[in-house]
Structure 1
Amino acid sequence: MELATLKDAFDRASKKQKFSSSLNQELINRAENELEQALKKIQSADADSDFFNLRVILKELGNKLNEMSPINQVEGSQKELNVALSKFTKAIEKNFIPDISKAYGNMNFDVRTVNLILANHFYRQGLFDLGDCFVQEASEPDTASLKLPFLNMYNILETMRSRDLGPALEWAAAHSAHLMSDGSSLELKLHRLQFLDILHRGDKSEALRYARTYLAPFASLHKVEIQKLMACLLWAGRLDQSPYAEFMSPMQWDRMIEEVSQQFCSVLGQSHESPLGVAVTAGVQGLPTLLKLASVMAAKKQEWLSMKQLPVPVELGRDLQFHSIFVCPVLREQGSDENPPMLMPCGHVLSKQSIVKLSKSSTRPFKCPYCPLEATFSQCKQLHF
């Protein structure tokens, strides 16, 4: 399924539709304007010559409408639109493959695992009623452990949207060690937001007490940040007019809500994005390539599902590139724990198996296949991706 071809055909049809709609509206407006002017002339006509004036006005109106030829213009634009729609329909029929079963193999899925994946997806998206309904109809017991963490998370996020940081601060304090190990300054950012909120209300003394209690412990690691917050005390009640006005931007709250959501998932040991959503997105992007590969292999009477790896690369967007994958340029095999990538002194990288075959000995030097330099096996260092 060539998505680029379909998109081009859709764009052309959409452009024609917008042009046709704009032209039709313009004709309607012009005709309406001529009718309103004719009506005004009729209403202001002299009573002694009503019949004569009425004939003249109506004749003039008819001539102007004929000059506009609205029917011909509408028919012309509609004809062009129909041609574009017809081409788009043919492009869909030509490229759309209704049977996508060729793109995947026959796999045995564990029903319970699939059900738990779906339930987890609903709960992490905040669709708790839908998740409960699905769990009940799937007759899956013991799913409370899936629901409760995300229920807690959404309760915290909801209170943050109401400008209440209490639950978020309690959660951050309870998981302070984990946040610090991840290099996150979430707890400080939450205290900063609370400090600025107090200061924005004009309570300078309360803001100072809050800073001494909750911001002081972070001073050694975030000296510059704390200095800026202390300078904000000079602008109590009018921060929006200060050099630190960006601290009061509504975007600060939106960013904190997003960061709390990310860190909450990190503490749970889960990704911020739904694994099911990511898998479906990747499958949709890779589907055209897989369908084309299946057709080519079928024509050659070969079965690609039995291959250990795909014979062609499947291009996915940058959002779906989570880690680097090393493929040895000599053996054309993907790196693994047993066959890791090795850095040679010359800067080229080969797999461990390639270097073992080239060296034939741990002390015997061998020539790099990509440059004239030589190296020994002991001089090569393992790379970690």
Structure 2
Amino acid sequence: MELNSIKDAFDRVAKKQKLSCSKSQEVIDQIIQEIEKALGKIQPSLSDYKHVLSDLRTTLKDIAPLSQLEGTQKELNIALSKYAKVIEKSFNPDIAKAYRNIEFDVHTVNQIIAIHFYRQGFFDIGDCFISEARELESAASIKSSFLEMFQILEAMKHWNLEPALNWAANNSDKLKQNGSDLVLRLHSMQFLEILKKGSRNEALKYARNHLTPFSSDHMAELQKLMACLLFTGRLDSSPYSALISPTNWEKLAEELSKQFCNILGYSFESPLSVTIAAGVQGLPPLLKFMNVMAGKKQEWQTMKQLPVPVELDKEFQFHSVFVCPVSKEQSTDDNPPMLMPCGHVLCKQSIMKMSKNSTKSFKCPYCPSDVEATKCRQLYL
């Protein structure tokens, strides 16, 4: 909603600026026209130039260029002023209000930042950061691993699959455990590249050596590849041209990156990127809360959980969250969810409160069952 208001304000400024420019050009053209008329009168008779200049001065005074431009310029200034206020209202320059003093493991944070640089291919920046953070011992193996990945991806950009095939062969068992068909996809693309060069016999030989082992589980894919033999050297104009499209190469490179990171024990998405993206979504409600809590900063620093709901998109939700239907509070390690004998779930503190610290039974808020606190069992999310 805030972005829509910013866009509307920007569109108004752009419209006013366009009108102002158009009016300015119109006035300038009018002045040029009058000056050219005056020059045309002066040239035939140089002796009467004073009268011509006097008439030009009177004409320009009647045109009143500054008065004509004043209105559109004033409207533009007003729109610019309002636009600045909208931006200032929508983007709080002081995001430090939402900061909390939390102790971090500096070594772990340094590793996350270094890995982010390396996995993005910024090896020089990563080396500089590692040097300044003095994390040289733990960074050498990380850099070498991602350097290998980028060398493979760079070769794939030039239609060279040999490094990728060698890596996949060395890690075939791990890829199989992960349920990945990357090895088949790499061999299939290599088979198609051979066909593109017009060597049918070589392609058939390659298929027998490398694609046959996949025939039991991927017969449909292999049949389509065998049909490509009929279009050797002209695959780009065949019914199977989609198999060699640049999109397939991009998807293949993405799958290789995912599996490479998976085998290294890293997620495909950079943890630093995910953290920043989630923080950007969660920042606005926290800033609004801090504006309300301006005089209670110390209380904010000691809170164990967020006092306001922060909605994040599904890609940022990595584990289940339980909110007690009685207290409306999110479960914590000190206040875990508890399963009652009737099958309903409440937080521990709610159960203890309703049972008077386990001294009496109580009725479940969802069904007529009588519940004894001692028979409730903790759930682990």
Normalising by structure 1, report the TM-score.
0.75
What displacement does 1:210 show? 1.1
- How far apart are the structure 2 equivalents of 1:383 and 1:210? 55
In structure 2, C-alpha distance between the alignment counterparts of 1:382 and 1:230, rounded to whole Å: 58
Number of the residue aligned with 2:81? 86
**Which residue of structure 1 lines up, in the alignment, with residue 260 of structure 2?**
264
Q: Deviations over 1:354-376 (max 9, x none)?
A: 999899xxxxxx98644679999
SS of aligned partner of 2:305:
coil
Deviations 1:277-298 (A, max 9, x none): 2112222221221122233334
Q: What whole-Å deviation, never above 9, does each CA across 1:213-272 have from its counterpart, x for those lacking one?
A: 111111111121111111111122222222222112111111111111111111111111
CA distance in 2, matches of 1:177, 1:120: 25
Cα deviation for residue 209 of structure 1 reads 1.0
Which residue is 1:125 aligned to? 120
- Aligned residue type for 1:292: K
Q: Counterpart of 1:236?
A: 232
- Specify which of 284, 291, 299 is matched with residue 288 of structure 1: 284
**Using the alignment, how far apart are the partners of 1:139 and 1:72 within structure 2?**
66
State the Cα distance separating 1:86 from its structure 2 match.
0.9
For 2:128 and 2:278, the matched residues in 1 are separated by: 27
Measured against aligned partners, the alpha-carbon deviations of 1:18-70 in whole angstroms (never above 9, x if no partner) come to 3245446656887899999999999xxxx999xxxxxxxxx9xx99xx99x98
Aligned counterparts of 1:372 and 1:85: Cα–Cα separation in 2: 64
| Cα offset, 1:384, TM superposition | 8.5
For 2:278, what is the secondary structure of its paired residue? helix
Distance 1:119 1:108, change over 3 A: same
Structure 1 alignment gaps of length 5 or more: 50-58, 360-365
Q: Distance in 2 between matches of 1:222 and 1:376?
A: 57
How far off its partner does 1:155 sit? 0.7
Output the CA distance in 1 between the equivalents of 2:126 and 2:144.
Answer: 12
How far apart, CA to CA, are the structure 2 residues paired with 1:251 and 1:200?
17
Mapped partners of 1:114, 1:35: distance in 2: 66
Map of 2:208 onto structure 1: 212
Shift of 1:99: 3.9
Between stretches 12-21 and 306-315, larger displacement belongs to 12-21
Letter in 1 for 2:98: A
RMSD: 4.6
Whether 2:133 is the aligned partner of 1:112: answer no
Letter in 2 for 1:216: T
SS class of match (1:326): coil
Q: Does 1:276 align with 2:266?
A: no
- The answer as to 2:191 corresponding to 1:184 is no
* 1:334 maps to amino acid: S
Q: Encode CA deviations 1:323-344: one digit per residue, 9 max, x unaligned.
A: 4433343464437799568699
Question: What are structure 2's unaligned runs of at least 5 residues?
Answer: 46-54, 356-361
> Cα offset for 1:211?
1.0
